[in-house]
Amino acid sequence: MQLWQPAYIGIGSNLNDPRAQVLRAFGALESLERTRLIARSRLYASSPLGPVAQPDYVNAVAGLLTQLEPQVLLAALRAIESSFGRPPERERWGPRVLDLDLLVQGRVQLATADLTLPHPGIVARNFVLYPLSDIAPELEIPGLGRVAELGSRVDAAGIRPLEP
């Protein structure tokens, strides 16, 4: 029997009623086998990254307990994205109906062709650190530091909470 591990999922959408897509994503994460949704952050509006002109994003973070291995959890996240209408080919920095990123899973440090843990963008992205701070400010991200500390180092430009 696989042990339960905490995992944190970054959620983002900027197409087809992004707020509704993020809320639906929480529901989809609740339905994953051998996984429990135990925490959800507030929703945030954030400016898009990169050179592609597109609408603002709605972002959040989900806290899970899971018995799934990281690669299996990643595959489940990709299946959810697909069920929401996201095409398998991903335009870098492009608009998205749904983006699910496996940010951290337990103490796992991993670098494969399709998965790096912890997620390499965590330390620079306010749209990840702010919602992650809502639910796990004391979380120690392997090799990077504590969430609250990392969050205090990123600029708040382009992000605002959508709910109290």
**Alpha carbon of residue 104 to chain centroid:** 9
Q: For this structure, is 101 an active site residue?
A: yes
Q: What is the DSSP letter of 162?
A: S
Identified catalytic residue from 24, 42, 56, 101: 101
Q: For this structure, is 86 an active site residue?
A: yes
Report the 3 state secondary structure along 22-80. HHHHHHHHHCCCCEEEEEECCCEEECCCCCCCCCCEEEEEEEEEECCCHHHHHHHHHHH
Six-digit token string for 34: 């051998």
Identified catalytic residue from 40, 86, 125, 134: 86
Identified catalytic residue from 40, 99, 125, 134: 99
Identified catalytic residue from 96, 107, 125, 134: 96
Q: For this structure, is 90 an active site residue?
A: no
Give catalytic residue positions.
86, 96, 99, 101
